[in-house]
Structure 1
Amino acid sequence: MKLDKATVGKRYAKALFELAVEDGQTDEIYQDLLSLRNIYKEIPTLGDLLSDVRLDKNEKRQLMDTLVEPFSGLMLRFLEIVFEYNRMDDFLLIFAEFERRYDDQKGLVIGTVTTAVPLNSQQKEALESKTASLLHYQQAKLEEKIDPTIIGGVIVEANHQVIDGSVKSRLDYLRAKLAR
């Protein structure tokens, strides 16, 4: 049975994260992954090139050797395994899951806040503090989105949870109650 890319990304990231924790290298591995993510952003086809079974193995090996040159130890071994199993095209999924686990370990939750109008810095800080408290984290980092259709209030999405305090959803709820 072939696994979907999201499952593969989660499994590889989980393995790398657990090994990094065991070796006390989570910060170093995270920094290595950040630098690799930047390379993938600069060369969006890199993962496909390194995973394409139709390409010449020697050419892929040379490219891989250049890519892994700055890395050693756990990170180097991990990248070699990912390369060997033709999963370099899943790197961004692996990184995203590792980053989620890393942030979780650091007590940080990442999410979005949708408002009808932009928040000022004090409002955003207060909302991040309240979100962190509600979700039992030390800190929250929320990316702002503006959507005038919510009329007012906020919608916070973080850690696979939605806190909908928008005026639009309250009005929709009242309409449904009155229609009964």
Structure 2
Amino acid sequence: MKLDNESVARRYGKALFEVALDKGDRAILVSELNEIKKALHQEPELLVFLTSVQISDQAKRDLLTEITKNTSELTTNLLNMLYDYGRIVNLEGVIEEFNRLNDEFDKTVRVSVTTAVELDEDQKQRLASSFANVVDANKVIIEPTIDESIIGGVVLEANNTIYDGSVKAKIERIKRLLLK
């Protein structure tokens, strides 16, 4: 039975998280994996190289060795195992699943915040603190986005839940009420 990418990412991410938890290497692994994820975004050709049938296995292994020369044993083993099992294309998904489990363990919530204007640091801090109370989190990481079409207010999206306090949404609710 062939597994879909999401299942592969879930399984490997969970196994990686459990091993990191047992070994006490979570902080190191978070840092290394996020650096690798950043590299994947900056150099999308990296995965193309590692999955190309036209590139020799030795060249791919040499690249993996270069990538992992300053990483922990766990990160090195992960990349080599994903490559050996033909799952290197799932690397980013595995990293995301690991990060999700790590955030859940630390009671950290990542929230996408959409506003009509840019928030200053004090506003971000107050928003993060208030939202942490709402969702019972120890830490809230804000990922800001600006969308002038919401007119004002704020739209928060975290864990597949949207908290829409925008002026645009309020206007839409009033319109619906008037049309009834």
TM-score, structure 1 as length reference: 0.87
* Larger deviation, residues 60-69 vs 152-161: 60-69
For 2:116 and 2:42, how far apart are their aligned partners in 1?
A: 34
Cα-to-partner distance string for 1:56-83 (whole Å, 9 max, x where unaligned): 2222222222223333533222222111
Gaps of 5+ in 1: none
For 1:116 and 1:58, how far apart are their aligned partners in 2?
A: 51
Task: Summarize the Cα distance change of 1:42–1:106 in structure 2 as closer, same or farther, 3 Å threshold.
Answer: same
For 1:50 and 1:113, how far apart are their aligned partners in 2?
A: 35
Verify the 8 A CA contact 2:29 2:72 in the aligned structure 1: no
Q: CA deviation at 1:31?
A: 2.2
For 2:138 and 2:72, how far apart are their aligned partners in 1?
A: 32
For 1:72 and 1:124, how far apart are their aligned partners in 2?
A: 34
Q: CA deviation at 1:52?
A: 2.9
Aligned to 1:32: 32
Gaps of 5+ in 2: none
* Larger deviation, residues 91-100 vs 160-169: 91-100
Aligned to 1:147: 147
For 1:75 and 1:124, how far apart are their aligned partners in 2?
A: 33
Aligned to 1:160: 160
% identical aligned pairs: 33
Say yes or no: does 1:136 pair with 2:133. no
Matched length:
180
1:46 is paired with a residue of what secondary structure? helix
Moved over 6 A (4+): none
* Larger deviation, residues 144-153 vs 72-81: 72-81
Task: Summarize the Cα distance change of 1:88–1:158 in structure 2 as closer, same or farther, 3 Å threshold.
Answer: same
Q: CA deviation at 1:54?
A: 4.6
Paired letter, 1:165: G
